[in-house]
Every structure is written in C-alpha cells, then in structure tokens.
Chain A
C-alpha cells in the first residue's frame, strides 16, 4: 500500500482513496484534426513504461477529487515527490 501525500488536502492518505491515471506530462496535439496518425497514435496509446523514475498522474478520488502528479520509482515503489498540475518535477531520471 502507498501512503500518499495529497498536495491539495495537505496530508497523507491511504492509497485506496486515490486512483492512478497513468503517465503524466503527455501533451495533447494542439490541432488534432491536422496532426498525423502517428502523432495521434503516440498520444493515445504509447507510453514510456520506464524501469526506475516515473512521473504519474493521480487523482484523490475519494477526497478532494483533484488531480496531481507523483514521481515514483517503479522498481522500489518509493514515492520521490508529489507536485501539483502545471508544476515541473524537481526529481527527474538522468
């Protein structure tokens, strides 16, 4: 079980209150009608799935219902950082 710090509620809560929403920082093509199929396919389906540091989008589903980002090590399960949407992570893979 994760013990996750919600940056909006300002305290740690159990994992069962949260939902993982996949990889963070995936930019939607600015003009979907004009982008190539490959670009759209990349956006919809292809993820990095790294071993090690990973930036993820989570939602505090049972609490404040706000989205935020988590930097997590997929090998050790350690949560390295929690930051709000619109902010950039300070912990990044080398």
Chain B
C-alpha cells in the first residue's frame, strides 16, 4: 500500500483538463434557458432601439506575468499577442478568438464553445512555468447588446463613460453593472458585449428588459 503511494508521489503532477462539452448529445444549457429566448424572438416585433442576444461562447481566464518564452508560446497558440495595454482587446484575423485585458496579469479569452477544450489542452502542453488557464464558460455568460439606443441603456446601468472619445471600439472595462458586475466590451460601433456571472444572468435579463422598455427591445434567438 505504502509502496504504491510512493510511486504516485514520484510521478510528475498531472494537469487535469476536462472537456466541458464531451458530446454533441449532451446539451449545453444557457443560464437563460427558462426564458426561452428563441420563442420570444419569434414574437419580437419590428426592430427596436435595443437588440438583445445571448452568445454561447467558450470563456477562459488566463493569469500570468509572461516572460519572453511564455509570451512567445502563448502568441503561438493564440495567433495574437496578449494585449498589454490596459482596457484593450484584440480579435484574431478570422474573428474566432478575442483576448480581453482584465487586469495587469489577467486576460479573458473568448473562443467558440467547441474550441475551448482544444485551446486549453494546447496551453497545458505548450506553455511552461507559472501560468494558470481556467475554463470559466460554466460560470459566465455573454450578452450582446446592439442598436441605436444601446448606449442609453448602458448609461442607466453603469457609471462608465460611453462617449466615443472615452470608449472606442475594442475597449473593455470591468465595472459595476446594475448593482451587479460585468465586463463590458465594445465590439463594433453600436455593439457591446457584457460578460456577466451566470448566477446574475436572470436578474440582468430582467433589468435589461426594464431599462430598454422605453426604446423598444428586440430579442434575437
């Protein structure tokens, strides 16, 4: 018994990477599944001032203070360098991957849901040293808000300045959002992404419905 323990101890530490979407038959359940957005979308009228869509993406939190070697191998995997300027984000050429700056030693990676496991596996195989990559897809969800009046709704919810001179396309901030928290990224002229905690998804969905009522809300399934 003790011998086997000894053997186990001497083995190199196993890095566990679990595929959170093991099979196409195991459905992914959105935190807003009970709302049935696709049904609401069918009855959604003409284009409102605000358009709401929930995105199902793979989200990974990367924490490290990369040295030159790590930076090179991370860039090799991602295809883009980690954005080192505060509050900026970078999207890869094919649009599949977005890297958001969260903090001086933290980034949020967004990839298509089915690519998260592959990315995570490559990270563990290729990046050495003091680095942590965690798949947080299950704990977060992404709301996409767009439309002519989207900024008015955001202004009601957070103290962040959304003027073009302060909040250009590509900027990303983490802040208070309707007494909850959110990471807000401007992905195009009139499109904003909110990365929110799964447990707050229902509350924020109710909040956003109320806040956008006066401009008209269109839901996309």
Is there an interface contact between A66 and B176, defined as CB atoms closer than 8 Å?
Answer: no
Nearest-CB residue, chain A, relative to B176? A62
| Pairwise interchain contact A8-B159, C-beta atoms closer than 8 A | no
The A-contacting residues of B in range 129-163, CB under 8 angstroms, are: 159-160
Q: A10-B86, A11-B87, A62-B181 are in contact. Are A16 and B176 (CB under 8 A)?
A: yes
Partner of A16 from the list B104, B159, B173 (CB cut-off 8 Å) is B159
Interface size on B, residues (CB 8 A): 13
State which of B102, B104, B176 has its C-beta within 8 Å of the C-beta of A17.
B176
**Cβ of A64 < 8 Å from any Cβ of B?**
yes
Number of interface residues of A (CB under 8 A): 13
Separation of A25 and B110 alpha carbons in the complex (Å)? 38
Q: Which residue of A lies closest to B182 (CB)?
A: A62
Find chain B residues with CB under 8 A from A13 CB.
159-160, 175
In the complex, the answer to whether A8 meets B103 with C-beta atoms within 8 Å is yes
Interface set, chain A 1-20, CB cutoff 8 A to B: 8-11, 13-14, 16-17
Q: Which of B76-92 contact A (CB under 8 A)?
A: 86-87
Q: Are B159 and A10 in contact (CB under 8 A)?
A: no
CB distance from A35 to the nearest CB of B (A): 32
8 A-B pairs closest in CB distance = A64-B103, A14-B159, A10-B86, A63-B174, A62-B176, A9-B86, A62-B181, A8-B104
- Supply 17 further A-B pairs (C-beta < 8 A) apart from A9-B87, A11-B87, A66-B104: A8-B86, A9-B86, A11-B86, A14-B159, A16-B159, A16-B176, A17-B175, A17-B176, A62-B174, A62-B175, A63-B103, A63-B175, A64-B102, A64-B103, A64-B106, A64-B174, A65-B103
